[in-house]
Amino acid sequence: MAYVMFQYDRPTESHRWNDYNQHVRDWIAQLLQIPGAVSFMAYRTTDGASPNTITMLEFRTVEDARKAQESEQMQRILDELRSLGVAARILLVERSPFTPKPFQA
């Protein structure tokens, strides 16, 4: 599995915060329609650390994730985030061969 990871701080200005919240569900739906997308998950920090939001868009292969990262759909969402003052850092990651599946406690 491979992932396109977004790392960013959500807007703090009230008008941008409201706009951001109104778009989140649409962005998730659009991301899941990118060819090869398997799942989407978002995480928020609990201690106020920055970046305070990390999302993981999962793909079956690194090649699918790479194509998605360069896709028009992804660029459109990044442009919309930028218009709200969100500067997302994008990483392409894959599972380590040492932990192909999570270890259980």
Average pLDDT for 49-78:
97
Question: What CATH number did the domain enclosing 55 receive?
Answer: 3.30.70.100
Structurally, the chain folds into a number of domains equal to 1
Cβ neighbors of 51 (< 8 A, separation 6 or more) are 7, 8, 9, 45, 89
Which range (27-41, 68-82, 91-105) has the least confidence?
A: 91-105
**E-state strands within the chain:** 2-8, 37-44, 53-59, 89-94
- Asked, for residue 103, whether it belongs to a domain, the answer is no
- The domain in which residue 39 lies consists of 2-94
Terminal CA-to-CA distance of the chain, rounded, Å?
Answer: 22
- pLDDT for 60 beyond 90: yes
- pLDDT for 16 beyond 90: yes
pLDDT digits (tens, 9 = 90+) for 23-55: 999 999 999 999 999 999 999 999 999 999 999
- Asked, for residue 101, whether it belongs to a domain, the answer is no
Q: Are 37 and 58 in contact (CB under 8 A)?
A: yes
Beta-bridge partners for 43: 54
Cβ neighbors of 24 (< 8 A, separation 6 or more) are none
- Asked, for residue 62, whether it belongs to a domain, the answer is yes
CA distances from 18 to 10, 14, 44 (A): 11, 6, 17
- Asked, for residue 80, whether it belongs to a domain, the answer is yes
